[in-house]
């Protein structure tokens, strides 16, 4: 164990504070009201309503506890919502809960940004114990990964998931395969991680190779090693249940199971349209979020150096064991999203630490390793330059997204052209990416994440339709395959009408690149054709 350097700690502390502050500004943007939150991040809005229910005043304590622990949105576990409720409670007590920009920046900063920064600090500590300049360099590299930057600009469980992953890895590293108290503390955090998001179960696979190595080296008997695995799994399971208190009721268990089933179906198959899976499809998302092929070769070489270094062998094996099964799952069983891979990718990227030279190591290195080390360091430097250019652009887009949003501009134009109908209190359908402030100026608004068809339109008798052109393109794409092909074909009949401006019972009132406004035939004649 290396000795920490107080100057390194000071620099890291200042960098952490500065980074935290920097993200405040984009995290305030795009949150003027709930509807605006919804168009930029529908996932945020979905969980926003949960936090609202959990923290709203109740007539008595039993009612409060019932709503707080049984929050009935089990896509994510209780740890995420309980931590999110803390800034929400504080804002309720200070009568600021209705201040949507303040609420959203609080949630984004304290539930995503802060946990992510702490997680990176933990990974840096594992590699260098804050002992040298290497800690600062590694910290800056990990901060620069676009997946980290992007994940720091919304409110989602992945920052917390990343932190819980780092804590689990920290205690497994601290244990040094002695299988003492740190090993079982790691099991507790792995259980909390699983309670938050189910990826924590991969730690049950991650520790198996470690145990097998112990058996091969005759440091443990097979039965003893399996006993440790079983005890780790048991502690994980207990921790999982304790930190998901809704599991203490049959209703909570059944709703949770139903949610998981639906979630796995959607992630694996797709939502309306079948998701394209596999490495080729995933690579299109990996490159902008995690880097180019040469950068990944640098990471692979770093693992090679780590496996050769006696001081880093155990850590290298641990990170590989955590990386591989989750990577396989993310690449081949789901539609790739950058946040799915973040908890396993960033710990693996921390192995770039092995590229940083020191005099003693350079003396030992063979010539080709010296050459490769400096060549890959050059790759990392170049990649960081491109990353920072990309991050500045992403930051600027996030900072000014209210002014540049096509959805908001479309809303203002739609209200302008629909002004004659506003006194009629129309029944309005709007695609979920259309900005439409709740109750302003239309009080009867409906939206849907699902495909539309004529049955849905006729059933709800909409007066006005606000539709996005991108959805039309997606559903009419000849290469698109429907999860329910019959449902897709029924929807395509409607979307061909949208494309051709010939929806039965409606007239096109306004169109632009972003979307179209349709109005009922009789209203069109009344308001837009009358002399």
Q: What are phi and psi of 432, to 5 degrees?
A: -65, -15
Q: What is the mean pLDDT of the chain?
A: 92
Q: Looking at the domain assignment, is residue 276 inside a domain?
A: yes
Q: What is residue 218's predicted lDDT score, i.e. its pLDDT?
A: 80
Q: What is residue 216's predicted lDDT score, i.e. its pLDDT?
A: 84
Domain span at residue 268 reads: 6-398
Q: Looking at the domain assignment, is residue 303 inside a domain?
A: yes
Domain boundary among 398, 426, 452: 398
Q: Looking at the domain assignment, is residue 21 inside a domain?
A: yes
pLDDT at 270 over 80: no
Residues 390 and 429 in one domain: no
Average pLDDT of span 485-514: 94
pLDDT tens-place string over residues 290-333: 999 999 999 999 999 999 988 899 999 999 999 999 999 888 88
Residues 452 and 319 in one domain: no
Residues 379 and 271 in one domain: yes
Residues 369 and 413 in one domain: no
Average pLDDT of span 205-232: 89
Residues 256 and 124 in one domain: yes
Q: Looking at the domain assignment, is residue 341 inside a domain?
A: yes
C-alpha 434/C-alpha 410 separation (Å) is 8
Q: How far from 518 is each of 73, 442, 461, 467, 501, CA to CA, in Å?
A: 34, 15, 13, 8, 9
pLDDT at 341 over 60: yes
Task: Pull the structure tokens for residue 435.
Answer: 């900005």
pLDDT at 221 over 90: no
Q: What is residue 370's predicted lDDT score, i.e. its pLDDT?
A: 87
Task: Pull the structure tokens for residue 507.
Answer: 């007239």
106-110, 222-226, 329-333: lowest mean pLDDT where?
329-333
Query: Taking the CB of residue 391, how many other CB atoms lie within 10 A of it?
Result: 18
pLDDT tens-place string over residues 13-44: 999 999 999 999 999 998 999 999 999 998 89
Q: What is residue 530's predicted lDDT score, i.e. its pLDDT?
A: 63
Residues 171 and 291 in one domain: yes
Q: Looking at the domain assignment, is residue 513 inside a domain?
A: yes
Beta bridge partners of 128: none
Q: Which of 364, 382, 379 is nearest to 301 (CA)?
A: 379
Domain boundary among 398, 423, 455: 398
Residues 92 and 202 in one domain: yes
Residues 376 and 431 in one domain: no
Decide if 493 contacts 453 (C-beta within 8 A): yes
One-character DSSP codes across 281-348: HHHHHHHHHH--HHHHHHHHHHHHHHHHSTTTHHHHHHHHHHHHHHHHHHHHTS---HHHHHHHHHHH
Residue 455 sits at the vertex; the CA angle it makes with 451 and 459, to the nearest 5 degrees, is: 110
Q: Looking at the domain assignment, is residue 1 inside a domain?
A: no
169: Cα within 13 Å, side-chain hemisphere = 33
Average pLDDT of span 348-373: 87
Task: Pull the structure tokens for residue 184.
Answer: 């079982």
Residues 116 and 215 in one domain: yes
Instruction: Grade residue 240 by pLDDT with cuts at 50, 70 and 90.
Output: very high
pLDDT at 260 over 90: no
Average pLDDT of span 496-505: 95
C-alpha 92/C-alpha 34 separation (Å) is 16
pLDDT tens-place string over residues 157-216: 999 999 999 999 999 999 988 889 999 999 999 999 999 999 999 999 999 988 888 888
C-alpha 199/C-alpha 165 separation (Å) is 9
Q: What are phi and psi of 272, to 5 degrees?
A: 70, -60
Decide if 172 contacts 207 (C-beta within 8 A): yes
Instruction: Grade residue 531 by pLDDT with cuts at 50, 70 and 90.
Output: low
Decide if 251 contacts 70 (C-beta within 8 A): yes
Of all residues in the chain, the percent with pLDDT exceeding 90 is 71
End-to-end CA distance of the chain: 86
Q: What is residue 148's predicted lDDT score, i.e. its pLDDT?
A: 97
Residues 298 and 158 in one domain: yes
Residues 420 and 368 in one domain: no
Domain boundary among 380, 398, 416: 398
C-alpha 275/C-alpha 189 separation (Å) is 32
Average pLDDT of span 394-404: 95
Show the DSSP H helices in 41-180 as ranges. Answer: 42-55, 61-69, 78-93, 100-108, 114-128, 133-144, 146-151, 158-175
Q: What is residue 449's predicted lDDT score, i.e. its pLDDT?
A: 84
Q: Full-prediction pTM beyond 0.75?
A: yes
Overall number of domains in the chain: 2
Residues 314 and 432 in one domain: no
CA 395 to mean position of chain CA atoms: 17
Q: What is residue 374's predicted lDDT score, i.e. its pLDDT?
A: 92
Residue 399 sits at the vertex; the CA angle it makes with 450 and 31, to the nearest 5 degrees, is: 50
């Amino acid at each position: 164990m290396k000795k920490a350097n107080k100057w390194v700690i000071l620099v890291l502390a200042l960098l952490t504070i500065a980074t935290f502050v920097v993200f405040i500004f984009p995290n305030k943007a795009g949150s003027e009201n709930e509807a605006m939150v919804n168009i930029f991040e529908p996932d945020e809005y979905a969980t926003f309503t949960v936090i609202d229910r959990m923290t709203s005043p109740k007539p008595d304590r039993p009612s409060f506890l019932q709503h707080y622990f049984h929050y009935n949105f089990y896509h994510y576990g209780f740890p995420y919502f309980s931590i999110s409720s803390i800034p929400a409670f504080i804002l309720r007590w200070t009568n600021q809960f209705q201040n949507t920009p303040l609420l959203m920046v609080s949630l984004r900063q304290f539930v995503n940004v802060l946990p992510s920064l702490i997680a990176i600090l933990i990974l840096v500590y594992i590699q260098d114990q804050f002992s040298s300049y290497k800690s600062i360099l590694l910290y800056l590299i990990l901060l620069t990964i676009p997946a980290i930057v992007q994940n720091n600009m919304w409110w989602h469980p992945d920052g917390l998931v990343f932190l819980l992953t780092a804590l689990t890895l920290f205690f497994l590293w601290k244990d040094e395969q002695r299988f003492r108290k740190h090993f079982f503390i790691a099991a507790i955090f792995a259980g909390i991680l699983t309670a938050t998001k189910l990826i924590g179960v991969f730690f049950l696979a991650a520790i198996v190779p470690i145990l097998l190595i112990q058996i091969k080296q005759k440091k443990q008997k097979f039965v003893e090693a399996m006993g440790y695995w079983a005890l780790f799994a048991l502690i994980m399971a207990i921790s999982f249940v304790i930190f998901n208190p809704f599991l203490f009721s049959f209703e909570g268990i059944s709703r949770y199971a139903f949610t998981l089933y639906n979630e796995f179906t959607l992630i694996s198959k797709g939502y309306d349209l079948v998701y394209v899976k596999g490495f080729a499809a995933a690579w299109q998302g990996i490159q902008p979020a995690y880097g180019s092929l040469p950068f990944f070769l640098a990471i692979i070489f770093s693992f090679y150096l780590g496996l050769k270094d006696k001081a880093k062998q155990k850590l290298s094996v641990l990170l590989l064991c955590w990386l591989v099964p989750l990577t396989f799952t993310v690449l081949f069983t789901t539609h790739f999203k950058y946040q799915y891979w973040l908890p396993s990718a960033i710990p693996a990227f921390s192995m770039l630490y092995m590229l940083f030279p020191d005099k003693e190591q350079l003396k030992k290195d063979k010539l080709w390793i010296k050459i490769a080390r400096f060549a890959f360091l050059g790759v990392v430097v170049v990649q960081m330059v491109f990353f920072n250019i990309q991050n500045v652009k992403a930051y600027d887009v996030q900072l000014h997204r209210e002014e540049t949003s096509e959805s908001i501009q479309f809303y203002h134009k739609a209200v302008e052209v629909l002004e004659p109908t506003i006194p009629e209190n129309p029944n309005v359908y709007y695609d979920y990416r259309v900005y439409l402030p709740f109750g302003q100026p239309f009080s009867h608004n409906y939206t849907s994440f699902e495909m539309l068809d004529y049955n849905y339109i006729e059933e709800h008798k909409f007066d006005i339709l606000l539709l996005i052109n991108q959805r039309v393109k997606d559903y009419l794409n000849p290469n698109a395959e429907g999860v329910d092909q019959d449902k897709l074909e029924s929807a395509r009949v409607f979307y061909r009408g949208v494309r051709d401006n010939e929806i039965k019972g409606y007239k096109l009132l306004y169109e632009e690149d972003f979307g179209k406004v349709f109005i009922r035939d009789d209203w069109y004649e009344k308001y837009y054709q009358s002399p």
